[in-house]
A and B are shown apart, each in its own frame.
Chain A
Amino acid sequence: MTSYSSGGFFNPAYHDSETLEIDRRSSSRTHHTNPYAREDPERGNMHYLSPDQTSADDAVGRVPWGGWQEESWRGRESIPMGLISTRPGSPSWQHDLNHSTFQIPADSRYDRSHSARLPSVSGNMTMRWRGISMRRMSMFPNSDPAHLAFTEDAIRNEMENEEQNLVKELVALSTRDRIRAIRDLPMSFEEKKHIRSQVLTFKSAKQSRQFTCFADCSENMSLSFRRCGYNVRSARQTLELWQGIMKEIGGTFGTSVLSYFVFLKWLLMFNIFSFLVNFGFITIPVLVYDPSPNIPLNVSFRGLEILTGAGYFNYTVMYYGGYSNETLVGLSDYNMQLAYFFTIALYMVLCGIALIFSMASSFKKNYVLADSSSSSAWQLLCSWDFNITNERAVRQRKNNLRVQLTESLSERAQGELLTLSEKLKHFGIYLGSWFLSTGLAVGCGVGIYYLCIYEKKHTTDAANWSLLQEAETLLVPFVVSLINLVVPLFYSLFNKFEHYSSQRKQIYALVVRNVLLKMSILGVLCYYWMNVVAEKFSCWESMVGQALYRLVIFDFFFLMLGSFFGEFLRNVMGRRLLPCLGVPEFDVARNVLELIYAQTLAWIGIYFSPLLPAIQILKFFILFYLKKVSLTQNCQPPRRSGRAAQMQTIFIALLFFPFFVGALSIVAYTAWSLTPSEQCGPFRGLNNTFSVVEVWIDKLETIPGSQWVVWIFQNVIRSEIFYFFITLIIIVVIYIFWQVTQGRKQLIVQLRQQIINEGRDKSFLLEKLQNLQKSNKKAKQKNHKKRASRRSDDHSSGGQSNSNAMVQALLARQRIEDEEERHRAGGVPVPSDISNSSALAQAMLARQRAEDQNEDSYQMSDRHSSSSIALTHSIQVAMVQGRDENYGMSGLSENPVNTSSAVTQAMQARQRAEQHRADDTDDLPSSVSSVMMQVMQARQRAEELPQNPAPAGSSALIQAMLARQQAQNEYDDGY
C-alpha cells in the first residue's frame, strides 16, 4: 500500500510528462517476485527475509495496482469502480486479489481462470479475451509462474474494463435488444445474470429521477407481452408435427437425410396454407350458396374417377368448370369472378414472397461464404452431427469420417497430375454424357407431345365417356411418370463413367440433368394444354385440370413404386443376392427433385383445379410415412456427409427459379392471353380472365368515393410508364449493389493480406523475443561470473542485482522499441482487436511492467527515493562503459542518496565514455558521442530533480537505459 500513496503519479506533472508510459509505471512499483529469482541465489538473502514474507508483500503490493491501472493505463475511460465493487456477492476476481491470490500456486490459478469462465464480453470482446489468453500463451511458452501471475492480473483488469464497457453498451439498448444481446453472450448463466443485474441497477440508477407511473405500466405491459410470446412459442414447439419422428431420423441418419423430411414437411405446410386459402375464398361460398352439384343424370360415380379425375368429378367444385360466374347474393354480395381471380393471384404472390424470403435467408446463412474446396479437412471435422444418438450410427459415422479424411489426404497428395490425353478423355466423356442426357430430355418431350396428339384424337367432348375411354386418358400420365422414374436412373448410370473432381460437381450435374428433363416434359405438356386443348374442348380448363389431377395421382404411385424398387428391392438384392451392391443409401437429391416436380404440378393446377392442394396434402402426408418406413427398413446412413445445408439452399432455389417461376408464367399467360371457355367456369363470356378486373373498375367508376381505386388502376396497373420506371429503378439499385459487392470483395482480399502480414510480424517478433531471452540469460550469467571474480568485496550485491534487473528492463525496452519500429515500418495502423502485434505489444508491456516492478522492488527494499534509482542507473551506465578499464569503483559501494553525488556519478560516466572513445580507434565515434549525449541528458534530468522528483527521475532512468544499451552495443561491437 505504501507505494500506492508514495508513487509519483499523483503529481499532475507526472501525468503531463512527455515520457513513455513505461516510465510512469516504473516509479510506482512495489515488491515483486523476480522472475529470475531462482537464477540469482545471492539476492534472496540480502533483500528478502524469507520467501513467505515475500509473497505476503506481493499480495499487498498488488492490490492497489489494479485500481491504479484502471484509471491511468492508456487513459481508458471507465465506469466508476463502485459499480463493480459494490455488487452483492459477486464471484469476481477481486476477492481473489484480496484474499487468495498468492496462496495458490500460479499454475492452478491459471487453470481456474479458464474453467471459472471469467466474465468475458460480447461477441468480439470474447474473441479479444480469448485472443489475449492465446497471446499470453504464445508469449510465455515455458510458463514462468511469476510471469503468469502477472499477466493474469493484466488480463483481469482488461476484462474488468471490457465488462464495464459491455454494461455501458447494453444500457444504451432498448429492452428487447438488450434481452437478445444478453442472451447471445457466450457466457454461463451465472454471468449473464450478473451482467443483467448490473445493467438493471445502472439503468434504474440513471432513470430514478424520471421514474413515472406510465413507465412502470409500460414496463409491466411489455413484460407480460413477452411472457405471453414465450408461452405461445413453447406451445407451438410442443404441437410441432412429427417431432419425434424427425428426431429419430436425425438421430440415425444425420442432418442431410433429415433435410429431405424437413423439406417435405415444409411443402406440406405450404399446401395446407394454399388449400385453406382456396377452400375458404372460392369453394366455401359456392358450397354455401348451392350445396348440391348440378350433375347430369347419366353421370354416376364409378370408382375409376379416383384415378382419372374425369366423369363425376368434372361437375364438382374440384375443377374450374364447377364454379359459376354469378354474383352470390346472400347477406352481402359476393362476386365469384373477382373472388376467383384475386384468390389465385394473391396465392401466387404469397407463394412467391414466401419462397423468395426463405431462399434469401437460406442463401445468407448457408451459401454466401461457403468455400469452394470441398475436401477440406476442417469441413469434415466441423461436420460432426451432434444430432446423432444411435450407437450404431455413431460407429458408422466415425468409420465414414475416417475414410473421408484419408481420401481428402490422398486427393491432396495426388494433386492435379492429369495428362493432356486424360483431360481430353474426361472432356469427351463429359461432352458425350451431356449430349446424351440433353438428347434424352428432348426426345422424351417430343415423344410426349406426339402421345398427347394421339390421345387428343381419341377423346371427345362428350359428357359421358365409356370406361375404356376413361382408362385411355391414363396413358399420358403413366408414360410421363414412367419417364420420370426411369430416365433419372439412366442419368445416375452416367456418373459411373464420368470422373468429377468433387462429389459436389457430380451432384450438381445430376441435378441439372434431372431439372432439364422435368422442365422439358412440363413445357411440352403446357404447350399442348395451352394451344391444343384450349382450341378443341368446350370446357378446356376442366380438361387441363383433369390432366393435372391424373399427373399428380400417377406421380404419387410412381413415387411409391420408386421407393419400392429403388430402396426395398435394392436392399433385398444387396443383402441376399449381390452383397457387392451393398445396402442402398437414401438419395436425397433425387428424392427432393421428385418433391419439387410434384409441387410444380400443384402450382400449375391451382388455376384449373383449385382444390388440387387437398390431393397434394394427402399425397405428401402418406409419402412422409412411406419414406420414413422405407428409410428405416431399407437404407443405411449416407457415406458422405456434409453439404446438407447447402444442398437445401439449392433445392429451394431450384423450387423457386425454374419451377415456381415457370408455373407462375403459365398461369399468368392463361389469365392474360387465353380466352376462357364459353360454357363453364366463372369467366365465361369474357375475352380473357384479366378483363374481370376491367369490368369491376368500370362498375366502380359509378360509385362515388372509390375514384382512387380507378385512378390507381388507370395510372399504375395499366400504365407502361410506371413499369418502365420501376424497372429502371430496380436496374439502378441492382447495379449499385453489384458495385458494393465488388468493393467488399476487394476489401476482403486486402484484409486477408493484412492478417497474413500481421501474423508474419508477430512470428518475427516472437522469434526475436525468444532470441533476446536466450542471449539475455547468457549475458547475465557471464555478468555474474565476471562480477563475482573481478569486483572487490566492498561492492554491495544490491548493486549487482540492480544491474541484473536493469538488464531485464533494458531488454524489455529494446523489445518495445523493436516493435515500435515494426509498427512504423508496417505503415497501416490496424484496429487493436484484429491486430495481433499491437496486442502483443500490450502483452509485452505487461511483461515489461513485471520486470520493471521486480527491478523497483529492489530499489524500494533499499529504501531509496526514486531519484537515487535513476542515479544508480546512470552509475551502471558509466560502470559498464568503463568496465574493461576500471573495475574497482569505490563509489559504488555506498548507496548514493543526494543529488550532488548523482551528478558526480554522471560526470564520471561521461568521463569514462570519453576515455573509452580515446581508447577505441575511432571506429564508432558517432555511437560513442551519442552515448555521451545520453549520459549528459541523464545528468540534466538528475539536476532537475529537486523540482520534479519522480518524473524527472524516471525519465532520467530511461535515458540512462538508452545510454547503457548503446554502450553495451558498442562494447559488443568493439570485441
Chain B
Amino acid sequence: MRKTIKTPEVPMDRILTLPELKSNPFRKRICHVFSTSEHKDGSLTFEDFLDLLSAFSDSATLEIKSHYAFRIFDFDDDGTLDGGDLEKLVNCLTGETDDTRLTAEEMRQLISNILEESDIDKDGTVNLSEFQHVISRSPDFVSSFKIVL
C-alpha cells in the first residue's frame, strides 16, 4: 500500500542551490544520474539524495565511485563513453565558454589520445570495465571523488 503514496521529490533547481553542488561542473549530470524520477527531470527523492551522498562519501568503495563516475561522464546515457561524451566531459572540465574551451584540433587530438590510452578492445568507445581500469591507475580519484559535508 505504501507504493501508492508518491514520495515527495525535490526539483533539481532546489538541489543545485546546495553549496556543495552549486559550483560543480557536473551538477546537472549528478542530479540526473541519481534521480529515479519518472519525468527524467533530475528531481531527487530523499532516498535518491541518500544514494548521492553515500556514493560521494568517504566510505564508498572504489567500485561504487567508479560506477557512478562512469554514469556521470556518460552524457548520453548509452552505456559507453564515446567521442561525444568525452568531448562534453572535457568541455565541462575546462569551461563552456569559447575562450576557455579547447580548439577543435586540440579536442580531436585529446580524444584520440584518450581512446588510444584506455580503449583496450579498440571499439572506439570506453566501456565501464575499461573506465574502471583507468580509474585504478589514477590513485587520486578516490580522494577527489568525494563531497565533504
Contacts and interface: CB of A to CB of B under 8 A. Distances in A.
A379 B129 CA distance: 16
Interface in A113-161: 114-117, 123, 126-127, 130-131, 133-134, 137-138
A116 B61 contact: no
Given A138-B123, A250-B148, A377 B134 contact: no
A189 B143 contact: no
Nearest to A262: B143
Contacts of B63: 123, 184, 186
B94 A190 contact: no
Interface string B71-110: 0000001111000000001100111000011100010011
B143 A255 contact: yes
A170 to B, nearest CB: 16
A502 interface: no
A134 B125 contact: yes
B117 A381 contact: no
A379 B138 CA distance: 6
Given A137-B79, A378-B117, A386 B137 contact: no
B82 to A, nearest CB: 9
B138 A378 contact: yes
A138 B121 contact: no
B10 interface: no
Contact of B140 (A114, A131, A382, A752): A382
A836 B100 contact: no
Interface string B37-61: 0001000000110110000100001
Nearest to A184: B61
Contact of B121 (A371, A380, A401, A755): A755
Contacts of B23: 388-391, 394
Interface in A391-411: 391, 394-395, 398-399, 401-402, 405-406, 408-409
Contacts of B143: 255, 259, 644-645
A130 B79 contact: yes
Contacts of B114: 377-378, 381
Interface string B5-47: 0000000000000011011111000001011100010000001
Nearest to A755: B120
B113 to A, nearest CB: 5
Given A370-B139, A381-B90, A412-B113, A386 B47 contact: no
B36 A398 contact: no
Interface string A633-651: 0000000011111100000
B38 to A, nearest CB: 8
Given A133-B79, A134-B127, A370 B137 contact: yes
A20 interface: no
A111 interface: yes
B56 A377 contact: no
Contact of A387 (B40, B47, B144): B144
Nearest to A137: B78
A762 to B, nearest CB: 6
Interface in A505-528: none
A386 B135 contact: no
B113 A401 contact: no
A377 B144 CA distance: 16
A759 interface: yes
B140 A255 contact: yes
Contacts of A367: 139
A247 B102 contact: no
B33 to A, nearest CB: 9
A499 interface: no
B138 A138 contact: no
A723 B8 CA distance: 68
Contacts of B120: 752, 755-756, 759
B148 A126 contact: no
Given A188-B47, A389-B19, A409-B106, A383 B123 contact: no
Which size bracket describes the interface of A in this complex?
35 or more
Contacts of B134: 378, 382
A35 B36 CA distance: 32
Interface in B110-149: 110, 113-114, 117-118, 120-123, 125, 127-129, 132, 134-149
Contacts of B51: 188-189
A401 B144 CA distance: 14
A398 B106 contact: no
B113 A763 contact: no
Nearest to A189: B47
B127 A409 contact: no
Given A371-B138, A759-B123, A385 B102 contact: no
Contacts of B70: 130
A369 interface: yes
Contact of B67 (A126, A250, A376, A382): A126
Interface string A801-838: 00000000000000000000000000000000010100
A644 B139 CA distance: 8
A408 B113 CA distance: 10
A246 B122 contact: no
B79 to A, nearest CB: 4
Contact of A386 (B67, B117, B132, B146): B146
B20 A405 contact: no
A762 B125 contact: no
A133 B128 CA distance: 11
A768 interface: no
Nearest to A183: B54
B128 A126 contact: yes
A316 interface: no
Interface string A184-222: 111011100000000000000000000000000000000
Contacts of B128: 126-127, 130-131, 134
A756 B2 CA distance: 50
A188 B114 CA distance: 30
Nearest to A192: B51
A133 B61 CA distance: 24
Interface string A737-766: 000000000000000100110111011001
A406 B102 contact: yes
A753 to B, nearest CB: 11
Contact of B117 (A137, A376, A642, A766): A376
A12 interface: no
A384 interface: yes
Contact of B148 (A111, A246, A646, A762): A246
B6 to A, nearest CB: 13
Interface in A836-854: 836
A974 interface: no
B139 A762 contact: no
A116 B36 contact: yes
B93 A398 contact: yes
A646 B137 CA distance: 11
Contact of A383 (B79, B110, B140): B140
B77 A756 contact: no
Given A130-B127, A184-B61, A758-B121, A646 B139 contact: yes
B121 A409 contact: no
A646 B140 contact: yes
Nearest to B134: A378
B17 to A, nearest CB: 12
Nearest to A761: B121
Given A131-B127, A188-B51, A388-B23, A115 B147 contact: no
Contacts of A391: 22-23
Contacts of A385: 144
B29 to A, nearest CB: 12
Contacts of A834: 129
8 contacts: A130-B128, A188-B36, A251-B148, A379-B140, A386-B24, A386-B147, A406-B102, A756-B120
Given A185-B64, A384-B26, 17 more contacts: A114-B77, A116-B36, A127-B132, A130-B79, A134-B80, A134-B127, A379-B137, A383-B144, A384-B25, A394-B24, A398-B94, A401-B93, A408-B113, A409-B109, A752-B120, A755-B120, A756-B120
Q: 4 closest pairs, A vs B, by CB?
A: A759-B121, A186-B67, A366-B139, A189-B47
